[in-house]
Structure 1
C-alpha cells in the first residue's frame, strides 16, 4: 500500500535527535519505519517550521518526510496551528493530484484530522485517525488551565463520525469516545509500541547509584498534570529512596523552569531536597541505561492518553507503579508487572512503593513479567501488523468480508 501519514505538529525527524521528540513524534517515526519494512511505501506530511528544510527528506528506506507550507515557517505552539489546517489540507490535495493519491491516509492528532478531511473532500482516500489525546479528557482534568482552542471537543467528535476508522491506543479511550457519541463500529484498538532492541534489560546502567539507597525514577515533560508532585510527597515517607526526575529543559536551564522551582520548593518543605535530583532533558540514546539503573519507575499522571514511559520501563525489565488512568490501565498489570494506585494520592503511592522496595524478589518478578508482556504485545512489528489490518478493513472491505465469511 501507499500510506500517507499526516502529523501536522509532530515531525518524525525530531525522533532522530531524541530530546525534542514527544510520544507522537516517536510513534509516527517508528510506525512508519515498521510499515515500510513490511513492504509499504510511506509518506509522512508535517508542517514546515524551518525555512531551510527541504520539501522532501528521506527518513529511512521506504519512508519520506514532506514539509508542508502552511502558516509561518517557524516553530509555533500547536494550539496556534488550527487556522492553518485548511491550507495544509489543500496542499495535500494538490500533492496527491499531481503525484498520485495514497491508498490510505492515517492522521495523527485532531488538527491533522482537520487537514486530512479538507484534503479528502477534494481527493477521496480512506481515512484512519489516531487522536493521541482527547480534548474532553484534557478539559476535565485541567479546567481553566486547558489551553486548547475553542471547538476542539466538537471537532474531535465530528472527526470520529466522519473518518472511516479510529485507531484508538487504549480501551479507556474507546470508553471516552463512546461517551462522546463516536460509534464503536468506527473504533479499533491498536496500542503504541516500544523498540525492543533499544529498550532491553541487558546493557549498562547509569553509573551514579548511591550505595544502600533505592532509586525511583520519573520520566516526562515537567508539567503539573504529570504528577511528579505526588512522587515527591511519597518520598517523604520512604527514607531509603532517592527520586530521579528526567525531562523538561536542559540541565543548564533547570533553575529557570517554573515547575522545577515549584517541585524543589516542595521537596525542601518536606525535607527531601537532598534525595530529589532533576536531570533535565535526557537524550533518548541514554534512556535505557537510566531506566535500568532504577529499582522502580514511577508514572503518576492525573491523566494519560497512553503513556510511553511505562512501556519503555517494561521493555527494560523494570516494574512500574503508576496511576490507574488512561493507557496505564492496559499497559500495567497489577500484581503481575507492577502496581496501580489512584492519581494524586501520595499515601497510596507510598504504600505501594514501600511494599515493593522491601521485597526485591517481587520487584524482579514484576520486571521479568513486564519484559515478557512487552515483547508479546508492544513490539513495533506487532503494532504495525495490527495497524495494517485496520487499514485493510477500510481499503479492501469487500475482500475482508469474503475472507471471514
Structure 2
C-alpha cells in the first residue's frame, strides 16, 4: 500500500505526535509498504531560533521524509506548537500528495489550520485523520467551527483518536465517529533486566519546559522530598538554563541531573535506570507516550490524574495518580516511593505487562484496518450526495452522521464538588456588576438624550482619537519601565528583563479592564513572579514593588489635584478637595503595610495564633523589601521620573480627546487633568468591570460642573475615553497573554503551584492499599 503520513509539526522540534508518526512510518516500511512522511522541516539556523524562540534540533533527513518548509512557534493549549503558517508549506504539501500517487493519506491533527485543512479539502484520495489533542476551551473551538472546521473535517474518510480524551475533543466540538487507536511503543527497543542498585530514589522527568508539563510543581515537591529522603531527579528534554530559571531553591541543583535533549538510545537508558517516572502535567494531555515508554522499560509512573493520563495509568497497579498542580500530594507519593521499594518494584513489573497493550505491531494492525475501511467507503449515491460530501454537509466516511454533543468533563472532580458552582456564582456576580455599570450609563444617556450623545460621538475626529490611543499605549510602557527600576532595587539578582515587566503590566491592565475589584494587580504580580523561578519566595517582594508604584501613583494624584486646584475657580474647589481626601484612603493602607512588621513584632510564641502571626510578620517583611527603591536614588530617581511622566502622557491623551470632540476651546489641559484625577480616584476599588458606569458619571461631574460642558458632550467624552482605555488594554494585553501562554486560570494555577510543601517523617509501618490516595473522575 502507498501511504502518505502528513504531520503539521516541525520535524526538528520533536514532540509526541512526530515520534508517533516516525515510529508508524518505520513499522509500515519494515512490512514492505511504500511510506512517505510529509512534514515541515526547520534547519538549525538563526531564523528558526527567531521564529520559535528556541534552537532547532540538527537532524538528518531520513529517506522517507519529504520536507515542506518552515514553521512558526505559537503558544497553544499550554505548550508551544510549531506549525506551518506560510503559504509555501501548503503548496509543497499539496504537490507532494498529488505526485505521490498514494492509496491513502493519513493526516495527523486535522484540526490544525493551513496544512491540515488544505489536505482535507484538496486531496482526491481517502484521507484518514488522527486526533491527538485534548481541548476543553470553548472559545478557540467555537471560532474554528465558525470558519468551517466542522465541514472541513467531514471530508475525512475515517477518524482515529489516540485516547478517550482525544475522542472526547472530537465528539464534543466537531461531531463524527472515532476509532480509538492508542499511540504505540517500541517494545523491542526497551531495555530489559534488573535496574542498577542504588541507595537513593531515582526520579525522572521527560518533557519540554512548557507551562502545562508541570515541571515547577515537581521541583517544588522535590525540594521538600530531599529534606527527608536521599533522592536525585534527572530532567530530560528541558534546557538546563530553563530549569535553573524556575528553581525555587538554588541549592536544589545539587540533587538534579540536567540532560537536556538526548538521543533515543539515551532516553531508553534513562527510563530503565529510573526508579519512577514523574509526569506532573497540569492539563491538556491526551495520551502521554512517555508513560507507555516507561512501562516498556519496567518503570512505574507517578502522574497527574488528568484525563489523558488516567487512560494509561491504572491507579495503584502500574502507577500512581495524584491531583494536578498539587506539589504536596506529589511530594508525599515520592516519599512513599523511596520508603517502599518492594511495592515500587511490583508496580514496575505490572507496568511492563501493561506496555504490551501498546506494542507497535498491534497498533499498526489497527491503523491498517482503518486505512482499508477508508479506501472501501462506498462512492456517493448520486450527484446530490457527491455535492454534499464535497462541501462537508454530510460526512465522507459512509457512516451515519454523529453531531457534536455536550459531554461531561473527563477532568478530576474538585474536592468537595463545589468548584464549578462557585465558578458560576463568580461569573454571575461579575455579569451582574457589568450590567449594573452599563445600566448607569444607559440611564444617563436616556436622561441626557441618546441622540445628542450619539451625535457627539459620531462627529468626533478619528485622527485625534488615534493620537489619544497611541499616547495611552505609550504611557503603559513607561509604567512598566518604572516598575523595572523599582524591582531592580528589591530583586537585584532576579535576572528579570524589561520585557517581563512589560508583559506583566499589559496583563494586569487587561485583567483590570475585564474584571472588577482591581484583580489586575495580583494578576501582574503573579505573572512577573513566575519569571523569577521562585514564585513562592519572591511573590511578596513583587507585591511590595507594586506597593511602591502605588505610592508613586498617589503622589501623581496629589500633584494632579494641586494642578487642578490652581487652575479652577472657587466654585469647584470643595468637590475637588473631597476627591483628594478620598484618594488618601489607599495611602493609609500603604502606611499600614509599612508599619505592620513593627506592630506585629517577631512572633516567637507557641500555638496556632502565634504561628499565623509569624507567617504574617514574615510576609510583611518581604512586602516591605519592595519599598527599598526609595533608599537607592540610582534606581529611585528614574522610577519616580518615569512613573510621573507616564501620568503626564495619560493627561495628554485625555487632552487629545478634547480636540477630537471639539471641546478644546472650552476645556484645556486643566480639564484633562481633572478628568484623569476623577476617573482614577473612582477606580480605587472599582465596583464594576473596567468601572463602567461610574467612569462616565465621574467624567460628567467634572466636565459639566467644572467647565460648563453640556452633559451630552461630557457623556460622549466619557464613552470615547473608556473605549480608548479598553482598546489599549486589549491591543497590548492579549499579545502579552499569548506571549506568556497564560489564561486567568493559569495565573491562579501558578499561585497554587507556588504553595509551601511540608513533609512529615515517614511512618515506620507501610501504608496499606486501602489507605492510599484515591483519585475520582467523571466519565
TM (normalized to structure 2)?
Answer: 0.42
What is the distance in 2 between the residues matched to 1:89 and 1:8? 10
Is the 1:244–1:278 contact (alpha carbons within 8 Å) kept by the matching residues of 2?
yes
What is the distance in 2 between the residues matched to 1:195 and 1:121? 33
Measured at CA, do residues 243 and 164 of structure 1 come closer, stay the same or move farther in structure 2, by a change above 3 Å? same
Measured after TM superposition, the shift of residue 287 of structure 1 is 1.3
- Deviation digits for residues 299-328 of structure 1, max 9, x if unmatched? 010121221211111111011010112331
Say which of 79, 83, 86 aligns to 1:84: 86
What is the distance in 2 between the residues matched to 1:368 and 1:199? 14
What is the distance in 1 between the residues matched to 2:272 and 2:312? 18
Say which of 204, 211, 217 aligns to 1:217: 204
**Does residue 262 of structure 1 match 2:245?**
yes
**DSSP-derived class of the 2:307 partner:** coil
Measured after TM superposition, the shift of residue 150 of structure 1 is 11
What is the distance in 1 between the residues matched to 2:217 and 2:301? 15
Measured after TM superposition, the shift of residue 103 of structure 1 is 1.5
Residue in 1 that maps onto 2:233: 243
Say which of 324, 329, 336 aligns to 1:355: 336
Say which of 173, 176, 182 aligns to 2:169: 176
What is the distance in 2 between the residues matched to 1:117 and 1:272? 46
**DSSP-derived class of the 1:162 partner:** coil
Residue in 1 that maps onto 2:107: 107
What is the distance in 2 between the residues matched to 1:340 and 1:388? 33
Measured after TM superposition, the shift of residue 98 of structure 1 is 4.5
Measured at CA, do residues 106 and 278 of structure 1 come closer, stay the same or move farther in structure 2, by a change above 3 Å? same
**Does residue 30 of structure 1 match 2:30?**
no
**DSSP-derived class of the 2:287 partner:** coil
**Does residue 340 of structure 1 match 2:342?**
no
Say which of 342, 353, 360 aligns to 1:372: 353
**Does residue 197 of structure 1 match 2:177?**
no
What is the distance in 1 between the residues matched to 2:237 and 2:72? 21
Q: How many residues in Structure 1 have an aligned counterpart in Structure 2?
A: 356
TM (normalized to structure 1)?
Answer: 0.77
Is the 1:106–1:128 contact (alpha carbons within 8 Å) kept by the matching residues of 2?
yes
Is the 2:131–2:166 contact (alpha carbons within 8 Å) kept by the matching residues of 1?
no
**DSSP-derived class of the 1:306 partner:** coil
Is the 2:131–2:170 contact (alpha carbons within 8 Å) kept by the matching residues of 1?
no
Measured at CA, do residues 38 and 156 of structure 1 come closer, stay the same or move farther in structure 2, by a change above 3 Å? farther
Measured after TM superposition, the shift of residue 8 of structure 1 is 3.1
**Does residue 295 of structure 1 match 2:282?**
no
Is the 1:105–1:127 contact (alpha carbons within 8 Å) kept by the matching residues of 2?
yes
Is the 1:110–1:156 contact (alpha carbons within 8 Å) kept by the matching residues of 2?
no
Residue in 2 that maps onto 1:234: 221
Is the 2:304–2:324 contact (alpha carbons within 8 Å) kept by the matching residues of 1?
yes
What is the distance in 1 between the residues matched to 2:41 and 2:237? 26
What is the distance in 2 between the residues matched to 1:58 and 1:247? 21
Aligned residues: CA RMSD = 3.3
- Deviation digits for residues 273-294 of structure 1, max 9, x if unmatched? 4323323222221112212222
Measured at CA, do residues 213 and 159 of structure 1 come closer, stay the same or move farther in structure 2, by a change above 3 Å? farther
- Deviation digits for residues 329-383 of structure 1, max 9, x if unmatched? 12111111011111101122123222332221211111111111102x1111111
Measured after TM superposition, the shift of residue 173 of structure 1 is 1.7
Gaps (5+ residues) in structure 1? 15-19
**DSSP-derived class of the 2:209 partner:** coil
**Does residue 316 of structure 1 match 2:297?**
yes
- Deviation digits for residues 152-202 of structure 1, max 9, x if unmatched? 57665555443222211111221222221422x2x1111111111222333
Residue in 2 that maps onto 1:130: 130
**DSSP-derived class of the 2:105 partner:** strand
Q: Which has the higher helix share?
A: 2
What is the distance in 1 between the residues matched to 2:82 and 2:187? 35
What is the distance in 2 between the residues matched to 1:277 and 1:42? 39
**Does residue 326 of structure 1 match 2:307?**
yes
Is the 2:149–2:174 contact (alpha carbons within 8 Å) kept by the matching residues of 1?
no
Measured at CA, do residues 30 and 203 of structure 1 come closer, stay the same or move farther in structure 2, by a change above 3 Å? farther
Measured at CA, do residues 390 and 204 of structure 1 come closer, stay the same or move farther in structure 2, by a change above 3 Å? same
Residue in 2 that maps onto 1:17: none
Q: Highest CA radius of gyration, 1 or 2?
A: 2
